[in-house]
Structures are given as C-alpha cells and as structure tokens.
C-alpha cells in the first residue's frame, strides 16, 4: 500500500496587517520589510478565533475536495506551535470534536515551521504500515497570539492561517509519495524559541502572556536555513534520480523571499516553478506550505500528476523536504 496526497484546503482570516500598519507599532519601514523579507502584508485571526477554528475550515475544504465522506477519516494530526490550549487537550482532538469525529485517532506534533512535512511523514508511515487509510493532516497557526508586537525583529514576519490535506491509501504507485526527509538539531534550539513557561523555565505563580512570545536569532537562523535547505533539496533529488527541471512546483516554507530565492537559484529553478505567497501571508509557520499549495490549487495551477518538491526549516531546529505527485481526486 502507498500513500497518496489526495486533496488540499486552506483558510485565511479576513483581517489584513500591512507593513504600513506595522510602522505605527514599531520602528520599521515598508521598504525595510519588503527588501529584507519580501513580505507586504499578513493575515491576523479575530480575537475569539482559535487555531482549531481555522483548522476546521481548512479541513472541511480538503475533505470536500478529496471525494471522501467526513466519516472516512480515521486519523487527524495537527502541526502547530500555537495550540488552543497550553498542554491539553490537543488541538487535533478539539478539531475532531468540532467536526463530529470523536472516535478518530487525533494528536498534535510540535516541529514549528517544518510541522507540515513532519505530519506528512506520519501520515505516510501510518498508511504504508496498514494502520490507517485516510489521514487528515493540518498545519494551523495563530502566530499573532505568540508574537511580541514590540519586537521589530519578529513581529514583521508572522501571520495566521491554516492548511489541510487528505492523505489516502492507494495501490497505484504513480500516485505515491516518492520520498520524505525530516531532521533536527536540538543544539541550536535557542535560535528560535519561546523560552519561558514550560518545565525548562517554569513560572511558579502565574503564567504571563509574554512567556509564550517567540524570540529569534534572525540572522543566524537565516544563514543556517539557506545552507541546510539547499543541501537537503539537492540530496532528496539526487537520491531519487530526479532533475530539478522535472519539478512542476517547488513549494517551500514561506519564511523569507531571500531564503526561497537562494534555494531556488541553487536548484536552477525557473520563476514559474517556485510558489510564492510570503508577500501576502508572511510566515505562518506550519501552515505556510499547505496554504501556498491551496492558492496554487484554487488558481487552477495544481493538477493531478504534477510533481511537487516541498521544503521547510524552523524552530527546534527542524527541517525537512518531500518529493511527491499531487494525486488529486
């Protein structure tokens, strides 16, 4: 049995936060943000809108496009670093309950911006082992809830949103996910972290909101991201004997235009192979790859049989890549 990437869906909140809006909050300019990141605007969830609310909207679209019934889903895995609740219940169980799927296996994973590639690898492994048939994977983030809007080094980057996909068992090898690679280096954990509030640095009496805010060594992370991702995508292509010219869509994590451009250039990709949404959504962490893929789909540019190369890099540190056809319905 193989695992096929059957369908994609996403949700973006209505509220837009532009670079000009940010200039009223911190010492920055539209020119600096555009030049250094490629970001022009990002979406911000409503105050009462949770990560699971966004995840459910993305998931419903993905299921509808898969041709399956909701009741066919036998596992839900959510990648998030901005869960509805600090420890439990998991966002996946909240999503399952909101969708009326109380009996399915449901759990979250924490791999920051690489989350979607990690959940894809989990879906593949469960399906290929025969344990599950139709797995709903989700990347969903309310990054605005864990962002410090007085820190210009991070608040200009992040946005909110969700993306979801249905991964199904298939006997058709042409539909199968070809290869996946995930990795980590915990020695560089302090490059990107929310340092307080957990057992590593507990709050004895009260949990402050700031405890959950992201801190990042931006420039150091940037350099290692370019180097690591370039090696990673070259490796996965070589390992599978596939030329970069054969890739229909390179769908990278949308952290910074300059990182995407550097990796794309190393692979000698044409502009029309590279999927870019960073200008309109910013960095939505684990949601960014499925959100970008969904835009491609809704624009009519993602067809069954198209060969996709995904890559991502984020907190942990974690990184990974995936090579797969879009199976479609």
Residues forming contacts to ligand UT7 in the complex (CB under 6 A) are 28, 32, 36-37, 113, 152-153, 156, 218-219, 221-222, 225, 255-256, 259, 283, 313-314
CB atoms within 10 A of CB 210: 11
Nearest in space to 253 (alpha carbons), one of 175, 318, 196, 195: 318
Cα(23)–Cα(40) distance, integer angstroms: 12
DSSP strand pairing (41-44 vs 249-252) = unpaired
In the complex, which residue's CB is closest to ligand UT7? Answer: 218
Nearer to ligand UT7, 159 or 328 (CB): 159
Concatenating the DSSP letter of every residue in 32-54 gives HHHHHH---EEEE--TT--HHHH
Please list the active-site residues.
113, 253, 283
Smallest gap, in angstroms, from Cβ of residue 226 to ligand UT7?
A: 9
CB atoms within 10 A of CB 313: 30
Smallest gap, in angstroms, from Cβ of residue 36 to ligand UT7?
A: 4
Smallest gap, in angstroms, from Cβ of residue 54 to ligand UT7?
A: 18
Nearer to ligand UT7, 153 or 198 (CB): 153
Structure tokens at 185: 């280096």
Nearest in space to 277 (alpha carbons), one of 35, 59, 40, 44: 40
Q: Are 297 and 152 in contact (CB under 8 A)?
A: no
Concatenating the DSSP letter of every residue in 265-277 gives HHTT--GGGB---
Smallest gap, in angstroms, from Cβ of residue 223 to ligand UT7?
A: 8
Nearer to ligand UT7, 113 or 287 (CB): 113
Nearer to ligand UT7, 167 or 225 (CB): 225
Smallest gap, in angstroms, from Cβ of residue 283 to ligand UT7?
A: 5
Nearer to ligand UT7, 54 or 113 (CB): 113
Cα(229)–Cα(123) distance, integer angstroms: 22
The sign of the CA dihedral 309, 40, 151, 44 is negative
Neighbouring residues of 113: CB distance < 8 A, sequence distance ≥ 6: 253, 255, 283, 285, 286, 288, 312, 313, 314, 315, 318
Smallest gap, in angstroms, from Cβ of residue 285 to ligand UT7?
A: 6
Tell whether omega for the bond before 27 is within 30 degrees of 0, i.e. cis.
no
Smallest gap, in angstroms, from Cβ of residue 4 to ligand UT7?
A: 28
Neighbouring residues of 321: CB distance < 8 A, sequence distance ≥ 6: 117, 180, 181, 229, 232, 233, 235, 236, 309, 310, 311, 312
Nearer to ligand UT7, 226 or 269 (CB): 226
Nearer to ligand UT7, 78 or 259 (CB): 259
């Amino acid at each position: 049995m193989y695992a096929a990437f059957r369908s994609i869906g996403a949700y973006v909140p209505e509220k837009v936060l532009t670079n000009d809006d940010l200039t009223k909050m911190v010492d920055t300019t539209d020119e600096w943000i555009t030049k250094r990141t490629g970001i022009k605007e990002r979406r911000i969830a409503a105050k009462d809108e949770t990560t699971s609310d966004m995840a459910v909207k993305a998931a419903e679209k993905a299921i509808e496009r898969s041709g399956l019934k909701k009741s066919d889903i036998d596992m839900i895995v959510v990648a998030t670093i901005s869960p509805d609740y600090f420890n439990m219940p998991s966002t996946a169980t909240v999503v399952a309950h909101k969708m009326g799927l109380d009996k399915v296996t449901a759990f979250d994973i924490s791999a920051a911006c690489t989350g979607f590639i990690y959940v894809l690898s989990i879906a593949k492994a469960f399906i290929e082992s025969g344990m599950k048939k139709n797995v709903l994977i989700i990347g969903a983030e309310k990054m605005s809830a864990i962002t410090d809007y007085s820190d210009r080094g991070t608040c200009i980057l992040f946005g909110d949103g969700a993306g979801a996909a249905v991964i199904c068992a298939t006997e058709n090898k042409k539909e199968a996910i070809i290869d996946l690679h995930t990795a980590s280096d915990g020695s560089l954990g302090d490059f990107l972290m929310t340092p307080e509030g957990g057992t590593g640095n507990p709050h004895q009496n009260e949990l402050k909101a700031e405890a959950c805010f992201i801190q990042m060594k931006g420039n150091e992370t940037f350099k290692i991201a370019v180097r690591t991702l370039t090696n990673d995508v070259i490796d996965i292509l070589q390992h599978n004997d596939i030329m970069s010219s054969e890739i229909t869509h390179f769908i990278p994590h949308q952290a910074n235009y300059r990182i995407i451009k550097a990796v794309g250039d190393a692979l000698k990709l044409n502009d029309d192979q590279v999927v870019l949404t960073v200008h309109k959504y910013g960095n939505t962490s684990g949601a960014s790859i499925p959100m970008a893929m969904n835009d491609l789909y809704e624009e009519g540019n993602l067809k069954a049989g198209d060969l996709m190369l995904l890559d991502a890099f984020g907190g942990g540190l974690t990184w990974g890549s995936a090579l797969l056809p879009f199976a479609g319905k």
